[in-house]
Structure 1
Amino acid sequence: MKTLAVILVAFLAAIQAQLWLGKGGLARGVQLRAELRAQDAANEQARARNAQLQAELLDLKEGLEMVEEKARLELGMVKPDEIFVQLRR
């Protein structure tokens, strides 16, 4: 009977050691939670960027004003019979 109790205590100790120190133990759980928080922050930044791009896409689809503004500012385009004047300060 004593040997059975010793064997059961040894198994219990081995299981507890695996829980605390093993590959899937508590330290790994803490590390995974930290990685999860970092990934959540990156996802939030990506969501904000996606919302900004979605708003810009909606503007491009619905209005020519943004297209015209981008063409003027980024490409230096002008309308026919229009004179481009640039002022420097």
Structure 2
Amino acid sequence: MRLIQVALFVLLIVLQYRFWFAENGYTDLKRIEKSIAQAEFDRAVIQKKNAHLEAKVADLKSGSGAIEELARQNLGLIKPGETFIMINEPRTFK
């Protein structure tokens, strides 16, 4: 009887070790779950950026107002009759 108890105890220890530390065990499961959560977060961020870019593309395709706005911001577009005023930020010394 004692031999059966010892064998069952050893079997329990071996199975517990395999559950916690072996390949495809509990620690691997937690690592993979964390990796999946990070990948889902990254995917959500990328989807948000894509939606923003798709809206920007649709806006650029639909009319010239967005193109004019981009030209004013990035290229310094000035229409005839407009006056360009540049405001310099004051310097701060540390």
Cα deviation, residue 29, structure 1? 0.2
TM-score, L = length of structure 1: 0.72
TM-score, L = length of structure 2: 0.68
* 1:72 paired to 2:68: no
| Compared CA separation, residues 25 and 82, structure 1 to 2 (3 A) | same
Spell out, residue by residue over 1:18-60, the C-alpha distance to the aligned partner (whole angstroms, 9 max, x if none).
Answer: 3332111111001100111111111111111111001001001
- 1:56 corresponds in structure 2 to 56
Unmatched segments (≥5 aa) in structure 2: 89-94
Partners in 2 of 1:83 and 1:62 — Cα distance?
25
- 2:32 corresponds in structure 1 to 32
Q: Calculate the aligned-residue CA RMSD, in Å.
A: 2.8
Percent identity of the aligned residues? 23
- 1:20 corresponds in structure 2 to 20
* 1:88 paired to 2:76: no
Cα deviation, residue 14, structure 1? 5.1
Aligned residues: 84
Spell out, residue by residue over 1:45-88, the C-alpha distance to the aligned partner (whole angstroms, 9 max, x if none).
Answer: 11111110010010011111010111112101234x44442153
